Structure 1
Amino acid sequence: MNSAGIFADAFGRIREAVHETVEGLPPGLLNARPDDGANSVAWLVWHLTRVQDDHVSDAAGTEQIWTSRGWSSRFALPLPEDSTGYGHTDAQAGSVRVESGDLLLGYHDAVHEQTLAFVHGLDGRALDRVVDESWSPPVTLGVRLISVVCDDLQHVGQAAFVRGVLSRR
């Protein structure tokens, strides 16, 4: 398997886990927080998708799906349009609410498709390209993609845990 195949498989696993976590969950549980300081399934899935959209589109030199395909308008969140959830306060995290899981899944699937289109064209040499010089050492494309995969898997695992906790109440 080449590097493109590895990344496609990793992002595919994230998509599967997002669908398993969100499908069939009513809005009350999607938006519920186990306590005031915890994140909801909606926030966790929105955040992991926003970070993937932001980071991969930046590396690919494309527009974010969030703005280019009108997802920010569909979500209509009381947050700045460029918000990804990074550094959110409890109140900001609590403001991420959805009417159905279809909205979360639609956005995630659109980002997933754009991500796959990008990673399918990669080879091992492309992964050495520096995409962020603000860190020491500078961040390469390979490191950025691994970071997104790791972050997404952690957050979808948290979302699945929250779903389980809330479903047992």
Structure 2
Amino acid sequence: MNTADLLADAFGRVSEAVHGAVDGLPEDRLAVRIDPDANSIAWLVWHLTRVQDDHLADAFGTEQVWTAGGWADRFGLPFPDGETGYGQTSAQVGRVRAPAELLLGYHDAVRDRTAGLVGTVGDADLDRVVDTAWDPPVTLGVRLVSVIADGLQHAGQAAYVRGVVERAAAR
């Protein structure tokens, strides 16, 4: 296995977890918040996908799928196009509502773009600095691991919320 294969596998696992959390759920269940300030499945998946899209576009010097693919317009959220969900208020979190097909369509488009981008990464590329706003500066390798970790965490949270929502609906 080479670097590109490893990265493709890791991002593929994020996508599998996202599909497991979202597939087959109606929009009202995707929007459930298990307490008034909790994140919904819809917000978690939208956010993790926005972060992946934003961070990889920045690291590779490409336009985000969110804007280039018209996803911002399709979602119609009341946020600026550059919003990723980081630091949003509870009220803003509650405004993210979308059907499964829309969430997964955007996620799959970002997954496909990600696969193309990481498919070109070799060992030497991992040390390339992609963000000098931090001390120490962030390398491509660190940024990719961070996005994978964030994606897996949020997909796991979405899977947990799905379990809670499905058990409550079965009662």
Q: Which category describes the TM-score, using the shorter chain as reference length?
A: over 0.9
* CA distance in 2 between partners of 1:82 and 1:137 (Å): 25
Which residue number in structure 1 is paired with residue 115 of structure 2?
116
Which residue number in structure 1 is paired with residue 144 of structure 2?
145
Which residue number in structure 1 is paired with residue 77 of structure 2?
77
* CA distance in 2 between partners of 1:159 and 1:15 (Å): 12
Alignment of 1:2-151 (within 5 A): 2-98=2-98, 100-151=99-150
Identical-residue share of aligned pairs (%) = 62
Unaligned 5+ residue runs, structure 1? none
What is the TM-score when the length of structure 2 is the normalising length?
Answer: 0.97
CA RMSD, 1 decimal: 0.5
Following TM superposition, by how much is the alpha carbon of 1:86 offset from its aligned partner in structure 2, in angstroms? Answer: 0.2
Following TM superposition, by how much is the alpha carbon of 1:162 offset from its aligned partner in structure 2, in angstroms? Answer: 0.5
Output one character per residue of 1:66-102: Cα deviation in whole Å (capped at 9) or x when no partner.
Answer: 001100000000111111000000000000011x200
* CA distance in 1 between partners of 2:165 and 2:4 (Å): 37
Counterpart amino acid of residue 9 in structure 1: D
Counterpart amino acid of residue 2 in structure 2: N
Counterpart amino acid of residue 43 in structure 1: W
Following TM superposition, by how much is the alpha carbon of 1:23 offset from its aligned partner in structure 2, in angstroms? Answer: 0.4
Unaligned 5+ residue runs, structure 2? none
Output one character per residue of 1:8-60: Cα deviation in whole Å (capped at 9) or x when no partner.
Answer: 00000111111111001111110111011100000000000000000001111
Counterpart amino acid of residue 145 in structure 1: L
What is the TM-score when the length of structure 1 is the normalising length?
Answer: 0.98
Output one character per residue of 1:87-123: Cα deviation in whole Å (capped at 9) or x when no partner.
Answer: 000000000011x200000000000011010000010
* CA distance in 1 between partners of 2:160 and 2:21 (Å): 9
Helix, strand or coil at the partner of 1:131: strand
* CA distance in 2 between partners of 1:118 and 1:80 (Å): 25
* CA distance in 1 between partners of 2:82 and 2:106 (Å): 15
* CA distance in 2 between partners of 1:159 and 1:118 (Å): 26
Helix, strand or coil at the partner of 1:59: helix
* CA distance in 1 between partners of 2:26 and 2:167 (Å): 14
Which residue number in structure 1 is paired with residue 167 of structure 2?
168
Counterpart amino acid of residue 114 in structure 1: R
